[in-house]
Chains A and B, each alone.
Chain A
């Protein structure tokens, strides 16, 4: 089943064509890698999918419904979660509060009941807190749960960003460089976690420069270069593709 369809998406900034006629599918429950040299348009594509930019041409369909033109929060509401490349957290809040913020769209009790703290709202809040603890345990952050997010080391901040996103229970998770800046041990453990996230049924679209991580994680890979889709296929094929090697290393290398 196809979860996300990117159809002929073009995005132009001033005179610069950031994305030109890009089309591909993301299948349900797969890990799809999005790679390419700097300036290939990977982050632009993430911004277009999550609603920060609207495409100049083309369509994006999530579960066969058009989502381009919707606001960021509406797209999130459809079930697309995203972590940012730069550390984007509620820095002054505790780790625990950060994760609780992620549950926002899953509260069912009306707002006024939350304000008067009715028994039903209390139960709901307690249930969210239990879930937040599970998520923090899964990402090895439980011992830091009372720390302000700003005090965490880099690797833990990346993990917290994923924790917040998991709390929002997305069907599709966009990960922008989740292991960049991590040491090999942290990278290994993050790769295992992303695999386990997929096992829970969440589809993952991932941008990453760490090629070893990408090759061991992804079921399929889409390669972008200068805003154009170069090739897509399983990691073994991509590794050997001349056009990909050329895009990364220049013509002489081929």
Chain B
């Protein structure tokens, strides 16, 4: 049978593959081009932010808006800290355990939370994140409001000693790439299709036999577990954690990464948003007192006038779209090789 478009079946886009390869190579080479440790630190923070932003987008892809993205970020950070400091495990042993424990907790809480989609879910996640912060602040074994200090660095692994920013950069990059690969696979599988169906029309999805509850719970569990992974990294990178690091502000920033980059771009959107939101405020520090105001106004302008976010706005200009860039690259290629 003749297929309407080969792209539908093959899916693979050579230019996309090329672009991804170049991006990964650039990210791998980046620490060698940067001397300044502080810039490396910012890149690491952007990496954490990108992962957290992607968990927000994952829930958004099934129609759930979370205001508690930092909740499981905290769960991961505290769980891993306790496993290393109290149970005496190494970072590498604590990491998979943290993932498993967080996944079980996410499944348990999610089973209750995702019963209510819509506004109820927004409010529940907001309160839950707040409860997690207060619980951490009140519990002595979690260090109270002062938090926990002296969390060990990850044990050396091969050439990585985790004494330099560069090693942490590669660790967070590895986590980020893992998340990107897994999430891309999810989005392009029938799971992603079911998620989008539930988001776009829960009624129609239902009449096709899609169990919205189960698919929302799956997204909640995967997203929360991913946030816990980021938390685990955070604790052993900063080597100290306080409840304040996981406050409502963190959840709001995470949401902003996704909104700023472009809500409809589940992977690239949060990544771009996190980089911008990490670097721009830093360079506005010269005007220290009013930096948050400038950042806030910039965000308001973007959200009010460019609701599609950065990527959504770019896509609106036909000259800047991926298709048109592809066409131009092809044209240049044809000219260079002398073919028509």
Given A100-B193, A101-B193, A115-B189, check contact A71 B206 (CB 8 Å).
Answer: yes
| Residues of B contacting A: mostly | helix
Contacts of B206 in A (CB 8 A): 51, 71-73, 76
Q: Tell me if B163 counts as interface (CB < 8 A to partner A).
A: no
Contacts of A52 in B (CB 8 A): 203
Q: Which residue of A lies closest to B211 (CB)?
A: A73
A163 CB → nearest B CB, Å = 12
Selected contact of A93 from candidates B185, B190, B200, B211, CB within 8 Å:
B200
Say yes or no: B190 contacts A145, CB within 8 Å.
Answer: no
Say yes or no: A145 contacts B197, CB within 8 Å.
Answer: no
Contacts of A146 in B (CB 8 A): 4-5, 8
Contacts of B209 in A (CB 8 A): 73, 76-77, 104-105, 168
B208 CB → nearest A CB, Å = 5
Size band of the interface chain B makes with A: 20 to 34
Q: Tell me if B186 counts as interface (CB < 8 A to partner A).
A: yes
In chain A, residues 42-87, which have Cβ atoms closer than 8 Å to a Cβ of chain B? 50-52, 71-73, 76-77, 81-82, 84
Contacts of A134 in B (CB 8 A): 1
Contacts of B212 in A (CB 8 A): 73
B31 CB → nearest A CB, Å = 31
Given A73-B210, A77-B209, A130-B1, check contact A104 B189 (CB 8 Å).
Answer: no
Q: Which residue of B lies closest to A149 (CB)?
A: B200
Q: Tell me if A5 counts as interface (CB < 8 A to partner B).
A: no
Distance in angstroms between the alpha carbons of A73 and B209 in the assembled complex: 4
B174 CB → nearest A CB, Å = 19
Contacts of A81 in B (CB 8 A): 207-208
Q: Tell me if A164 counts as interface (CB < 8 A to partner B).
A: yes
Given A90-B201, A101-B197, check contact A145 B208 (CB 8 Å).
Answer: no
Q: Tell me if A27 counts as interface (CB < 8 A to partner B).
A: no
Q: Tell me if B157 counts as interface (CB < 8 A to partner A).
A: no
Contacts of A104 in B (CB 8 A): 190, 193-194, 197, 208-210
**A contact residues vs B (CB 8 Å cutoff):** 50-52, 71-73, 76-77, 81-82, 84, 88-93, 96-97, 100-102, 104-105, 107, 111, 114-117, 121, 125-126, 129-130, 133-134, 136, 142-143, 145-146, 164-165, 167-168
Interface contacts beyond A146-B4, A167-B208: sample of 18 additional A-B pairs, CB < 8 Å, sorted by A: A76-B208, A81-B207, A81-B208, A84-B203, A91-B200, A91-B201, A96-B8, A100-B190, A101-B193, A105-B208, A105-B209, A107-B190, A126-B9, A129-B3, A130-B1, A143-B4, A145-B5, A164-B208
